[in-house]
Structure 1
């Protein structure tokens, strides 16, 4: 289902990128904890529905973030779909969904980071910062890691 690109979605970050490798390799970068730590944050992730885990990073007191992201695996279809909850237990109560679709000899990787409150100035600030991070850092790092596999 195509996303409406005509208006900015204040409730979500939506990105897709082609990666010139099959879904199985991209899936590894999204689900092997040591690989995820290289492109996102240190974690205790396990690819099991219901598994609760955390990401840890540098605290950002200016946005009342202590550096811990609390997550749970909500949905999982190997090499196709990974959906997790994403919370700071204060303001953020979001979901992050990764979808992988075969495209030629590679994979189209989709990210939907949803649940931002359009009326909450701090959440909108976080959405803008995270949108930039997903686009400029994380997607490129995922592709580089997959190149190494």
Structure 2
């Protein structure tokens, strides 16, 4: 007799949300906007990020908080951190690619499991707006 409800769900596929945006700013400037707490607060939410591998931090909004840990920090090319909240265990990765007009910014949030459609839809709908906020912030930033 086979177990109809296996405990190991490792074979289940996870989904990811990817957003790309060309920004007319150099990667170093985009990196500062992605890694400086008071800048991040302007375009995303309150936080105590420090771009050092192993640094644990929180992002918080009026709806609650996200627990994060820096997984990769390679200025000004790549930043990755865990993004865990309300049962969602995911990873957010930023890649900054220099292009003639500035920076191609790629953001991927991966790790949405089956049954986490609400989290997936929320991320899919909100990250483009957050990147829009980031672009507007970069235009104002010195």
TM-score of Structure 1 vs Structure 2, range by shorter chain: 0.7 to 0.9
2:100 to 90, 98, 104: 104
For structure 2, the 5+ residue unaligned runs are 1-12
**1:144 equivalent in structure 2:** 136
In proportion to residue count, which structure has more strand?
Answer: 2
1:130 partner SS: helix
TM-score between both structures, scaled by the size of structure 2: 0.87
> Does the aligned pair in 1 maintain the 2:14–2:110 contact within 8 Å?
no
For structure 1, the 5+ residue unaligned runs are 1-8, 60-66
Structure 1 residue 10: deviation in Å?
A: 6.0
Alignment map for 1:1-149 (pairs within 5 Å): 11-59=15-63, 67-88=64-85, 90-117=86-113, 119-120=114-115, 123-135=116-128, 137-149=129-141
Detail structure 1 runs of 4+ shifted over 6 Å in the superposition. none
> Does the aligned pair in 2 maintain the 1:10–1:124 contact within 8 Å?
no
TM-score between both structures, scaled by the size of structure 1: 0.83
Structure 1 residue 105: deviation in Å?
A: 2.9
Greater Cα radius of gyration, structure 1 or 2: 2
Please report the RMSD computed on the Cα atoms of aligned residues, expressed in angstroms. Answer: 1.3
1:49 partner SS: coil
Q: Distance in 2 between matches of 1:13 and 1:130?
A: 7
Aligned residue-pair number:
129
1:6-58 per-residue CA deviation (whole Å, 9 max, x = no partner) reads xxx96100111100111011111100000001111101111111100001112
